[in-house]
Amino acid sequence: MLKILWTRLQQKHRTTAYPKGPAPELPPRFLGRPKIDMSRCTPDSCRSCAGACPHGALDIGERVRIDLGKCLFCGACEAACPAGVIEFTREYRMAVGRRGELEVQDAAYRLAEALDAKSRKLFGHSLKLRQVSAGGCGACEADVNVLNTVGWDLGRFGIQFVASPRHADGLLVTGPVTENMRLGLLKTWEAVPSPKLVIAAGACAISGGPYLGHPEVHDGCTRLLPVDLFIPGCPPHPLTVLDGLLRLLGRLEKDGR
Amino acid sequence: MSDMLAVRNAQAVPLAHMPVLEPEAFRRAVLDAVASGARIASFFGRPLPSGRLGVLCALAHDHAGTLSLLGMEAGEEYPSLSPDCPQAQLFERELAEQWGLRPKGHPWLKPVRFAPPRRPGGEPMGSGPCGVMPFYRVGGEEIHEVAVGPVHAGVIEPGHFRFQCRGETVKHLEISLGYQHRGVERALTGGPDARTSHYMETLAGDTTVGHAWAYCQALEALGRVEAPARAAVLRAAALELERLANHLGDLGALAGDVGFLPTQSYCGRLRGDALNMTALLCGNRFGRRLLKPGGTGCDVDERTLDELRLRLDALARDSASALRLLWDAPSVTARFEGAGALTLGDARALGLVGPSVRACGALQDVRRNQPFGVYRYAMIPVSTWDTGDVFARAHVRWMEFQRSVVFLRELFETLPAGPVLRAPGSPAPESVVVSLVEGWRGEVCHAAVTDAAGRFAAYKVVDPSFHNWPGLALALRGQGISDFPLCNKSFNLSYCGVDL
């Protein structure tokens, strides 16, 4: 027992002060939300970035646009642009409430709004989620799981991942929804009592990610389930996931974060 | 042996040099090689212009440090190897499912992934949704069946487990996968192209560096270039950091599975610290974007190196203190000892790899047996134990953690100067290469066969989990069913790495 207490002192208190305090520092090379500066762009003559994105996230029609629902944050488009039009910033806040809002262009980006008052009353202080892994590479699951460690302590917000869909207020879906998991996902969804939420975490769940267009997958869960929160990333950083969850519950509004 | 083509790890050779045998001679040759100590590293098929299937087998000779390649051409069926060679069973099922090639006499011919056939007009092997198949059943009034998954209780990937139990004791466990099947290996055919590296980095998210390295190495062999020395060291640093993160995470989870919360809590945080060290190298916690064919996509400066050294020291110190608690708690070791034990004979027969086979006493590690990259001239000691149980797997992982820390310190001190990228030429046509890397779970094997234009006519990925899932099933025999999470976590196998 003494040894355990002594080790506890050595290991120290490690839970992040966020959101009351500052967010944990992200590495210098972290690629977060991209920024587009059209004033530097010469779309008619340059087109260096054309074809830079093999996943269809980059659209260079009249203006340069990046679909964060498809973006794997590989930085290839930034590297292809000689004029610095595209720049991946270290901004981790990216979760939105509607699919169309995942589009980054030369304008303000609209982060997710909180649920309406009635839903907030229901879920705001206690949100139980059933996670369904529906294809993908396991990285999204790994970084969602991180929120349960002492470093993040998701439980302090009343958010918890539960074993049974019957105990859940909603689903957090990862993966492109393989044909082989379609039934499992839908059955789990049906087993969650209403009213219920759906959160799509990661490029796979939003659009199919790297597997977009494969006949073996359904290009994410958006056509199968009504999604309330889209969290982009490949995988999303734990901070991006947490920001999205808290934003949805209206827990970040008052202090203007 | 004489009728096989001997190659080194990641040595590209013309496909025409590989002997191609008739099915019966092929079967004999593989069985003889396995009987004399070789392991099946890869075993896969590709359609030939003739309409027949070209099967390729890569055998690893751990003591000689070589691989040997052997081909077979078959029509619709061939005599199965599995009755005499259990480690072939999953490969043969895969061939049957993908290409409709029937292994005659296979004792356990069931779907692997419930995947659609790759041969046009082929019949699917499973009839119905994923996981619907005749499971092995134990008879008798006192027997009951427990079915778990595909949606599990935690935040984990999907798989289906059928336990045949008598009381609390598991008589037999059958594992059915395929839920994560997203067609990634199929999509690799015809590459390399702009999507290829993203596929490689997401074969198994927790083994991003291991798989990316195996791919880079294959492409470098086909493109006749060697990664610069500085890149080789950075790759090894990333691979060992991946090992640290996963071993720590699993040791913490093992503590959690026996209700020992202090070590579980500390390891959860420490795993993140290791991932954040990888993120310091390339910006991504899983090592995405770090490896590129021909070297690495980013370099480190002195300041980052200093920071990495500091963080490694802190990680080593805090991990030692967290794990000391675990090893000193008799309530923990009593649960670990004897749980899910495998014999070395069974482990070898099933063809297990990585810490799972080293925990049975085998001196088997690609870094030592078929060295690649910096491991060709920098040695990392192989850690083994001999009880084959949960304790052994946990202990081997902890020993490996410590060896990797020492090795990483050495790497950070001896980082050579120079460039980090030397672009490979276009892949050699009509060639074959087998590339092995010792990932944290064990041997990652990528094999590529190129066509006349240098495109991938076949690209075969064998994640270590492919070899090891049957090991977990066997380890459960005679165990209490409540020890399943503990046994499972001691292997911690990948679903997506198998389902592909």
The interface predicted TM-score (ipTM) is: 0.96
Q: Span B157-163, mean pLDDT?
A: 97
Q: Kindly determine whether residue B205 and residue A138, on different chains, have CB atoms separated by under 8 Å.
A: yes
Q: Span B238-243, mean pLDDT?
A: 98
Taking contacts as CB-CB distances below 8 angstroms, the residues of chain A near B183 are: 211, 214-217
Which of A3, A145, A211 is opposite residue B155, by nearest beta carbon?
A: A145
B6 touches chain A (CB under 8 A): no
Q: Span A127-134, mean pLDDT?
A: 97
Q: Span A204-223, mean pLDDT?
A: 97
pLDDT at A247 over 50: yes
Q: Span B223-231, mean pLDDT?
A: 97
Q: Which residue of B has its CA nearest to A79?
A: B297
Residue A232: in which H helix or E strand, if any? none
pLDDT digits (tens, 9 = 90+) for B377-398: 998 999 999 999 999 999 999 9
Neighbouring CB atoms inside 10 A of B5's CB total 17
pLDDT digits (tens, 9 = 90+) for B242-270: 999 999 999 999 999 999 999 999 999 99
pLDDT at B322 over 80: yes
Q: Which residue of A has its CA nearest to B126?
A: A180
B413 touches chain A (CB under 8 A): no
Q: Kindly determine whether residue A31 and residue B284, on different chains, have CB atoms separated by under 8 Å.
A: yes
> What is the pLDDT at residue A256?
47
How far, in Å, CA of B318 to CA of B324, rounded? Answer: 10
Cα A200 to Cα A122, A167, B67, B475: the distances in Å are 20, 19, 44, 36
Which of A14, A31, A184 is opposite residue B283, by nearest beta carbon?
A: A31
CA end-to-end span of chain B: 32
B318 touches chain A (CB under 8 A): yes
Closest CA to A69 of A230, A177, A240, A252: A230
Taking contacts as CB-CB distances below 8 angstroms, the residues of chain A near B113 are: 180
B496 touches chain A (CB under 8 A): yes
Half-sphere exposure of residue B162, counting CA atoms within 13 Å on the CB side?
A: 15
Q: Kindly determine whether residue B268 and residue A215, on different chains, have CB atoms separated by under 8 Å.
A: no
How far, in Å, CA of B211 to CA of B218, rounded? Answer: 11
pLDDT digits (tens, 9 = 90+) for B164-213: 999 999 999 999 999 999 999 999 999 999 999 999 999 999 999 999 99
Half-sphere exposure of residue B58, counting CA atoms within 13 Å on the CB side?
A: 28
Cβ contact A141:B155 at 8 Å: yes
Please list the helix, strand and coil fractions of chain A in percent, rounded to the nearest 5, in that order: 30, 15, 55
Q: How confident is the model at residue A106 (pLDDT cuts 50, 70, 90)?
A: confident
> What is the pLDDT at residue B159?
97
- Could you say which residues from 198 to 217 on chain B have a Cβ atom under 8 Å away from some Cβ of chain A? 198-199, 201-206, 208
Taking contacts as CB-CB distances below 8 angstroms, the residues of chain B near A75 are: 289
Q: Give the pairing type, strands A64-67 and A229-231.
A: unpaired
pLDDT digits (tens, 9 = 90+) for A16-53: 999 999 999 999 999 999 999 999 998 777 889 988 99
Closest CA to B474 of B380, B384, B344: B344
Q: What percent of chain B has pLDDT over 90?
A: 97
pLDDT digits (tens, 9 = 90+) for A57-72: 999 888 899 999 999 9
Choose, out of A192, A212, A216, the residue to mutate when testing the contact with B (most B CBs < 10 Å).
A216
Taking contacts as CB-CB distances below 8 angstroms, the residues of chain A near B115 are: 216
The alpha-carbon gap from B321 to the nearest alpha carbon of chain A, in Å, equals 7
DSSP A106: S
pLDDT at B427 over 70: yes
Report phi then psi at B54, rounded to 5: -90, 115
> What is the pLDDT at residue B2?
57
How far, in Å, CA of B314 to CA of B295, rounded? Answer: 29
How far, in Å, CA of A137 to CA of B25, rounded? Answer: 39
pLDDT at B1 over 90: no
Q: Kindly determine whether residue B183 and residue A183, on different chains, have CB atoms separated by under 8 Å.
A: no
The alpha-carbon gap from B73 to the nearest alpha carbon of chain A, in Å, equals 28
The alpha-carbon gap from A175 to the nearest alpha carbon of chain B, in Å, equals 8
The alpha-carbon gap from A50 to the nearest alpha carbon of chain B, in Å, equals 13
> What is the pLDDT at residue A254?
55
Q: How many Cβ contacts (< 8 angstroms) between chains A and B?
A: 183
Q: Is A21 helix (H, G, I), strand (E, B) or coil?
A: coil
B158 touches chain A (CB under 8 A): yes
Q: Span B480-496, mean pLDDT?
A: 97
pLDDT digits (tens, 9 = 90+) for B26-69: 999 999 999 999 999 999 999 999 999 999 999 999 999 999 99
How far, in Å, CA of A204 to CA of B446, rounded? Answer: 24
> What is the pLDDT at residue B123?
87
Q: Kindly determine whether residue A134 and residue B195, on different chains, have CB atoms separated by under 8 Å.
A: no
Taking contacts as CB-CB distances below 8 angstroms, the residues of chain B near A87 are: none
Taking contacts as CB-CB distances below 8 angstroms, the residues of chain B near A4 are: 262, 325
How far, in Å, CA of A79 to CA of A63, rounded? Answer: 18
Cβ contact A181:B180 at 8 Å: yes
pLDDT digits (tens, 9 = 90+) for A148-199: 999 999 999 999 999 999 999 999 999 999 999 999 999 999 999 999 999 9
How far, in Å, CA of A83 to CA of A42, rounded? Answer: 9
Q: Kindly determine whether residue B158 and residue A133, on different chains, have CB atoms separated by under 8 Å.
A: yes
Q: Kindly determine whether residue A4 and residue B182, on different chains, have CB atoms separated by under 8 Å.
A: no
Q: Which residue of A has its CA nearest to B321?
A: A7
Which of A8, A55, A149 is opposite residue B269, by nearest beta carbon?
A: A149
Which of B179, B187, B201 is opposite residue A180, by nearest beta carbon?
A: B179
Closest CA to A81 of A115, A123, A124, A37: A37
Cβ contact B231:B295 at 8 Å: yes
Which of B179, B193, B199 is opposite residue A210, by nearest beta carbon?
A: B199
Cα B438 to Cα B9, B30, B259, B327: the distances in Å are 12, 23, 31, 26
Taking contacts as CB-CB distances below 8 angstroms, the residues of chain B near A235 are: 205, 286
Q: Kindly determine whether residue A210 and residue B279, on different chains, have CB atoms separated by under 8 Å.
A: no
Choose, out of A8, A91, A130, A133, the residue to mutate when testing the contact with B (most B CBs < 10 Å).
A133
Q: Kindly determine whether residue A163 and residue B154, on different chains, have CB atoms separated by under 8 Å.
A: yes
DSSP A178: B
Q: Is A67 helix (H, G, I), strand (E, B) or coil?
A: strand
Q: Is A207 helix (H, G, I), strand (E, B) or coil?
A: helix
Q: Kindly determine whether residue A138 and residue B155, on different chains, have CB atoms separated by under 8 Å.
A: no
